Chain A
Amino acid sequence: MPPDLVSQLVRLSGREGPPTVLKDTRVLVIRVGDVVVKAHPAGTDEAELKARLEVRLPGLLLEPLGTDRVGDRFVTIWPAGEPLTPDDLETPPWEEGGRLLARLHAQPLPAGLPPMGGPARVTRAVAQLEPGDLPRKAYQTLDLRQRGSGLTHGDWHLGQLIRLDGAWLLIDPDDLGYGDPAWDLARPAAWFASGLVSPDEWNLFLGSYLAAGGTAVSPGDPWRELDGPARALTVQLAATAMATARRDNTALDEAAEALISSCERILATPPPS
């Protein structure tokens, strides 16, 4: 990250005041006053990102205030939502998430939208590992082909929810596109399958998705559609956790251990035909 990128983003925000760095990974996200400014990774396909940013779903998906550029970094500017509180972390908004995804999946597919970015995220995550690492071996067994072509968020987790003026919205269309909408449930499914989310929480999330008319999975046997995507997200999360621990020279935490042990079982359990 160029040292002056934060100050450049502050300038683009058009707001005064000290910035808060919300995220500094492949992307840099800062908040200044009532706006959030995001520098996208260098090398982002701009035509695809612009098509994603043009999707308008009022009351469902946060709309950008504008776009800009700093050097080779495409920049988007957003209204800042209310930050999550410690209460949200204690009792995550599973039901709000399930309902918003059900509504997203009921939308017609906007014209000109690229494929959703979920499978590419899995591939990027394992590319950081060594060939002998378990998640990378499990990756070889995955089937990343999409079994649907509905509107899909592409990178859904609880951090993709914000409250704005009292209403919950989905944010971050960077991976929005057409694909198998079951992928949007796959990260919570992966957490659940690894024992990181309790059966009660999983049922709350899946139940509110189905009750709101969500169609990505069959109510009687949701794992028929979820098995493949949840395997993929387990591999992605395990790979990311492993790469992060290695980079920071820290031990794997409880969650990483659980995900890596799931990779072991994925390798030992061929997908149902």
Chain B
Amino acid sequence: MQCPKCRGNMRTFDRNGVHIEQCDNCRGIFLDYGELETLSRMENQWNAAPPPPAPGPAWGGGHHGGHGYHHGHRKSWVNALFSS
């Protein structure tokens, strides 16, 4: 198809399941009926779901690898929790 603005050639792209036509000449974009709504919906979903906060620091260790905290072993160093 031809660009309605500059009459250049339009090429079809697929972005996240949405078909868009972009003009090779002026880079203008043509959206079919409903495609703008689809993009808005995707944008809202992205904004509504922030990633959950990290449950610990990036340099942390011990809780995920299967090592670390063992209640039965803590007696040997529990005093460290109570002293400077």
Contacts and interface: CB of A to CB of B under 8 A. Distances in A.
B46 interface: no
Given A159-B84, A192-B56, A265 B61 contact: yes
A7 B35 CA distance: 86
Interface stretch (A30-38, A46-54, A99-107, A196-204): A196-204
**Max chain A C-beta neighbours (<10 A), residue from B57, B58, B75:** B57
A258 interface: yes
Interface in A181-226: 191-199, 220-223, 226
Chain A: interface residue count, which band? 35 or more
A272 interface: yes
Interface string B36-53: 000000000000000001
Contacts of A192: 56, 60
A198 B71 contact: yes
B34 interface: no
A223 B54 contact: yes
B61 A158 contact: no
A227 B60 CA distance: 10
Interface residues on B, range: 20 to 34
24 contacts: A23-B83, A84-B82, A89-B78, A155-B84, A157-B81, A157-B84, A158-B81, A193-B61, A193-B62, A194-B68, A195-B62, A195-B67, A196-B74, A221-B53, A253-B77, A255-B77, A255-B80, A258-B61, A261-B61, A262-B60, A265-B60, A266-B59, A269-B57, A269-B58
Contacts of A223: 53-54, 56-57
B9 to A, nearest CB: 44
A2 B77 CA distance: 30
Main SS class of interface, B: loop
Nearest to B62: A195
Given A157-B81, A253-B76, A255-B77, A195 B53 contact: no
Contacts of A220: 53
Tell me what chain A mostly uses at the interface: helix, strand, loop, or mixed. helix
A226 B57 contact: yes
Contact of A262 (B61, B75, B76, B83): B61
A191 B81 contact: yes
